[in-house]
Structure 1
Amino acid sequence: MNEVSNSTNDETARGYHGWKIVVVCFLMALFGWGFGFYGHAVYLAEIQRLRGWPASIIASATTLYYLCGAILVVFTADLVRRLGPKAMVLGGIACMATAAFLITIVDAIWELYAAYLLMAIGWASLGLGSITNILGLWFRTKRGMAISLALNGASCGGIILAPILVLLSARVGFVYAMWIAIAAMLLILVPLVLFWLRAPEIEPPKPGVAPEVVMTKAEALRSFAFWSVAGPFALALVAQVGFIVHQVAYLTPALGRDGVAVSVAITTTMAVIGRVGLGTIIDKLDQRRASAISFTTQGLALAAMTLTNEPLVLYLCCAVFGFSVGNLITFPALIVQREFPAAAFGTVIALVTATTQFIYAFGPGLLGLVRDASGSYAAAVYVCVAFFFAAAVLVLMRPRTV
């Protein structure tokens, strides 16, 4: 599935169809992360306000969501190959839209869990594993750039969708806010998927040319090289995802609902700035060292948040934290592309995505439990800080060769 079409079209050409695929993947990321990642902070705060359910119960549903999504991500490469990208993505959109609607009408905790399980299918179909595998079909030499550009949609999901949900919820109510967002996804994304998204035509290998050796899932899971990527990023994402899910609830007492919307927008705007800015020089950097610096700055930003309730300082901390948010989901693909054989990219990145998601799935629930046990969010934030610092050390432990 990682063989890129050898047609006369050049990846660097403006008319290359792969760049339309990048646009589709950008919008997949925007709505996928908007509903399936950043949206959970809004769901937690609004459902807790409307239903009065404990934060740990709602956050545990989020944990289950990420766990199921992680299992499904393992099979994204197989689904792209068997169903084709168009059918898989359309199915994912249908699941995401239906689940988002169900969240607005839940009356019992089990209904919330059921809606989150359905959303997990949409998340796996629109998320990182699907995007990197779809772009892997179209790009080889420009794969890093294509992935980086497409994943800017993830940060835009936080810049656009999450703050809009917060602001609309304050003005027209959570239910109508969600319905408006669902309609926007269907009207914008579905037509582009129908008309643009497809797999490239693959030319058969030339006679006498040995096929590239593809790393199996078992071989990847047994290698230190794999865990040297998956391990530290899983720890960092436990902290990052956990904080983002609880960000609205944590900062609302200090900032108010409108102020929290600004904080979310700052966080995600800086995520785009960080990814675009670093993307221009990433090939010249030591990507593991850059990852360690990102983890460290995020940990320091969260630690500083616990020391103040001053809005301007909290906004600054959100900006520093957000600068690395986007890069945490971009760096693994770039490290895998550099350190693993090209033919192993799809398999390895799908496994890295699944493994990190399985582990960071416990982040929201863990922070919810710490918060409920301690009576405040300070202890939960310090757990995130510890995870970031540990990840910064582990990511510098390099494999010898792959």
Structure 2
Amino acid sequence: MVNPVEKKQRLAWLMVLAGMMVTGVSYGIVLNCFGLFVKPVSEMMGFSRQGFATSLTIVYVVYMLCSVYSGKLIEKFGLKRLMRIAAVILPCAYFCNSLCTQLWQFYLLAALQGFCVPFLSFIAFAVIIPRWFEQKRGLAIGLTFMGSGLGGMLFNTLAGDWVVTLGPVQTYQILAAVTGCVLIPLVFFVIRTAPGNAQESSPAAQSVPVPAEGLTLQEALRSPTFYMLLAFVTLIGFTTTVLNHTVVPRLSDMGFDPAYAARVNALFMGVLCIGKVLLGVINDRIGVKRANLLAMSAVLLGLAGLYLAQYQGMHLAVVVGSGLGCAMGSVSYPMLTEYTCGKKDYAAVYGVINATNVLGGAVCPTLTNAIYDSTGSYDAALLMAVVLLLLAVGCHTMVRKIRN
């Protein structure tokens, strides 16, 4: 007979595995593969890069709004119900990208995708995983969010070739089919939002518990330190998005084959997988503040490599630096939330922190591609990202535990 404690541990790691797969096809395809479509779709449809990239900005804006109100949405509707709705809508909306002929159609679908992705990735599992783990929490979070990197690596490799051989229309359709085949079985039949026998369809059973220690969101919002934290997260969201979504078009503009650029991006996603686990372990061992400094150094390395991308040897710096640095946005923020504000109102506070991270990501594609459209190069955008990263380091030095 299986010991109840052992059964819970097995189920906990099953949630990690399921979370990896769900984030792999939600965030890993919708966001991490977006860069593959910027150049071919813009050229095929006659759009400017800025115009098409605005669809990604819309995804991020809606994602941000969902993050801000995630605590209330989970309390009212239940996390499981929100995940099921998102699991049905997301593959349908992504498939419809293949039918679009006008920018406004891409924008409408982007809004739907922006609603779905947070409840199938970082918002959902930043709530679920801590409920299952008291120890090795950083490792569990890192492994779960490794899925976005694994998905990005796998589907950048496959879709990079498909875009060249089949075209973006069929590539959208194939990726949508894969997304649906993974999401629906796992979300409906495998994932449990919390341990125990509570009815998961009940919002009350899924509302975030209120531990004794820490601050409410309202208390945190009265602290200047909290706004410094939000500024830090926003700046990091921008700089890491530059790395995440500029690799393929940057290398292509430098004269490298699009399929090669996609493989470099896929390798970056693979290193990102390792980086998330590694950063989770580092957080557990040396604390979130020191781990963040290490990750920001990696972001700087990645930006330098991308700026000097005409030299093929610098592509290794892009892969290694970006792989560890971009892990910060998913792995460090749940732990940074607990470090600064405690567990009392965790979901609501994390939702706001994640929203500011998404805000940085939302501004990035439109701004960087506007710079490209006006200058014909990403050089100025990359230099701007370096300056913003240095500002983020300054903000980070002033982030500390907030006391009531």
Settle same-fold status: TM greater than 0.5. Answer: yes
- The equivalent of 1:40 in structure 2 is 34
2:218 counterpart letter in structure 1:
A
1:144-185 C-alpha deviation (Å, 9 max, x unpaired): 332221111111121112232111111222222222222222
Contact residue 85 and residue 134 of structure 1 kept, 8 A = no
- Matched with 1:193 is 187
CA contact 2:298–2:320 (8 Å) conserved in 1: no
1:80 partner letter: I
Q: Work out whether 1:156 is the aligned partner of 2:150.
A: yes
Local SS of the residue matching 1:342 = coil
Tell me if the contact between 1:228 and 1:399 (Cα under 8 Å) persists in the aligned partners. Answer: no
The alpha-carbon deviation at position 366 of structure 1 amounts to: 0.9
Q: Provide Cα deviations, 1:330-376, integer angstroms capped at 9, x if missing partner.
A: 11112222333223322221111112212331011110111112221
Alpha-carbon distance between aligned partners in 2 of 1:218 and 1:160, rounded to the nearest angstrom: 41
Structure 2's unaligned 5+ residue stretches are 199-203, 205-209
Shift of 1:245: 2.1
Seen in structure 2, the aligned counterparts of structure 1 residues 331 and 211 have a Cα distance that, compared at 3 Å, is: closer
One-letter identity of the residue aligned with 1:21:
M
Aligned partner of 2:303 in structure 1 is 302
Task: Check whether the contact 2:252–2:258 (CA below 8 A) recurs between aligned residues.
Answer: yes
Which of 77, 90, 99 is matched with 1:96 structurally?
90
Name the SS of the counterpart of 1:48 in structure 2.
helix
Evaluate the alpha carbon distance shift between residue 226 and residue 129 of structure 1 in structure 2; reply closer, same or farther with a 3 A threshold. Answer: farther
1:237 corresponds to: 237
* Aligned counterparts of 2:387 and 2:379: Cα–Cα separation in 1: 13
Secondary structure at 1:361 match in 2? helix
Would the aligned equivalents of 2:216 and 2:344 in 1 still touch at CA under 8 Å? no
CA distance in 2, matches of 1:383, 1:202: 51
Distance in 2 between residues matched to 1:264 and 1:307, nearest whole Å: 16
Task: Specify whether residues 134 and 176 from structure 1 end up closer, same or farther in structure 2 by C-alpha distance, changes over 3 A only.
Answer: same
Shift of the alpha carbon at 1:14? Answer: 6.6
**Paired residue for 2:219?**
219
Q: Give the equivalent residue in structure 1 for 2:176.
A: 182
In structure 2, relative to structure 1, the CA distance for the partners of 1:175 and 1:384 (3 Å cut) is same
CA contact (8 A) 2:38 2:52 kept: yes
Q: 1:75 aligns to what?
A: 69
SS in 2 for 1:198: coil
Q: For residue 379 of structure 1, what is the aligned residue in structure 2?
A: 380
What secondary structure, in the 3-state scheme, does the structure 2 residue paired with 1:38 have? coil
- Cα 1:106–1:138 shift into 2, 3 Å: same
Range that drifts further, 42-51 or 80-89: 80-89
* Residue correspondence of structure 1 range 105-120 to structure 2 within 5 A: 105-120=99-114
Between 1:129-138 and 1:46-55, the stretch displaced more is: 129-138
Q: TM-score, normalised by structure 1?
A: 0.89
Q: Distance in 2 between matches of 1:68 and 1:140?
A: 32
Distance in 1 separating the partners of 2:188 and 2:367: 40
Given the superposition, is the C-alpha separation of residues 247 and 303 from structure 1 closer, same or farther in structure 2, using an over 3 Å criterion? Answer: same
Checking the alignment, whether the CA contact within 8 Å between 2:22 and 2:120 is kept in structure 1 is yes
Q: Is the 8 A contact 1:67 1:358 kept in 2?
A: yes
Cα 1:336/1:185, change in 2 over 3 Å: same
Q: Alignment RMSD, CA only? A: 2.4
CA offsets, 1:37-58, max 9 Å, x none? 2122123223112112111111
Equivalent position to 1:26, from 15, 20, 39: 20
**In structure 2, what residue type is equivalent to 1:236?**
I
> Do the aligned partners of 2:220 and 2:402 also contact (CA within 8 Å) in 1?
no
- The code of the aligned residue for 1:392 comes to V
Compared CA separation, residues 50 and 345, structure 1 to 2 (3 A): same
- Asked if the contact 1:230–1:352 (Cα under 8 Å) also holds between the matched residues in 2, the reply is yes
1:283 maps to which residue?
284
CA deviations over 1:39-79 (Å, ceiling 9, x no partner):
22123223112112111111222212211110012232333
Give the whole-Å Cα distance in 1 for the aligned partners of 2:233 and 2:179. 30
1:327 and 2:322 equivalent? Answer: no
Task: Show the counterpart of 2:201.
Answer: none
Task: Give the C-alpha shift of residue 236 in structure 1.
Answer: 1.4
Normalization by structure 2: what TM-score? 0.88
1:313 aligns with 2:336: no
8 Å contact kept, 1:298–1:321: yes
Rate the CA distance shift 1:64–1:184 in 2: closer, same or farther, 3 A: closer
**Residue in structure 2 matched with residue 247 of structure 1 by the alignment:** 247
2:296 and 2:86 map into 1 onto residues whose CA distance is 31
In structure 1, the gaps of 5 or more residues are 1-7, 205-209
Does the CA-based 8 Å contact 2:56-2:365 persist in structure 1? Answer: yes
Aligned residues: 389
Asked if 2 retains the 8 angstrom alpha-carbon contact of 1:235 and 1:388, the reply is yes
